[in-house]
Amino acid sequence: MSSLRHPCIVSCFGVSLTTNGKYMIVEYLENGSLEKAIYNSKMGRTILRFETKLKILTDVAKGLVYLHSIKPHRIIHRDLKPGNLLLDKNMNAKVGDFGLSKIVSNNSATMTANVGTLLYMAPELLSNDHKGQSTKVDIYSFGIIMWEILFEESPFSNEIDGFTNVFQILKKVTKGHRPPLLFETSALLEGDKNQKVDEWIDHNFTKKQIETIGKENISKLYESYIEIMEQCWNHDASKRPEFIEITDQLETLQSNFA
């Protein structure tokens, strides 16, 4: 992993072997994990604006474009989740923690299904209904991350009440179940009629952005974002977009803040 060099990948400088254990020496990122940033924003300690969320997701997508295009052996991360995405002092995001990564050659034919964090895992891995190594499993995980950073909630948190319940949810995921939208696009145009939506807008956009962009265009931004997210977690892995396409789509959304 020390050979990986990209602005959106956490740099690994080497390994230290001591009598107490083995240690990886990696780049230090001041703002910690995206998981921490989402939690702090949810608790009101900091604020993650929609513009920043788009930038973070774009950085992550660029990092995955790099990993998935390495030749001759592309790398599938297999454990994409907010805890493995790190932020520097300027909130630039980098993909880290390659503990479950798989180096893939064109003739590889198998993949161990017991990898990653379950709630971010692609349904084809959960059901063992997969053929060969596919970068599409990372794209599914990215879709779940898009949901989490958008609403600042843990995926399926409204359904989980115990360990057994998690596996019931996963069974539904293999049949197409996904985290629910907290509100529909049409609700963004209702104004004061929907307190939850107004709170989301005020949290994700500055007053100046609301005035400049307007609620109608904010609604369109939300709708486009949801469309990308749902493409990423499509049940049919072959219909999920590649990260190069996702990057272009996210940068188009970012252009609204230029």
| Catalytic residue positions, numbered | 79
Token readout for 255 is 């252009």
List of residues 6+ apart from 199 with CB closer than 8 A: none
Local structure of 90: helix, strand or coil = coil
Region of 128 on the Ramachandran plot (φ > 0 left; ψ -120 to 50 alpha; else beta) = left
Read off the DSSP letter of residue 250.
Answer: H
Strand pairing of 12-18 and 85-87?
unpaired
Read off the DSSP letter of residue 182.
Answer: S
SS3 content of the chain, % helix, strand, coil (to 5): 50, 10, 40
Q: Are 132 and 108 in contact (CB under 8 A)?
A: yes
Backbone angles phi, psi at 85, to 5 degrees: -115, 120
Local structure of 251: helix, strand or coil = helix
Strand pairing of 85-87 and 93-95?
antiparallel
**Rounded alpha-carbon distances, angstroms, from residue 79 to 101, 115, 134, 195, 198:** 7, 7, 13, 35, 34
Distance CA 223, CA 186 (A): 9
* Number of neighbours of residue 156 by Cβ within 10 angstroms: 20
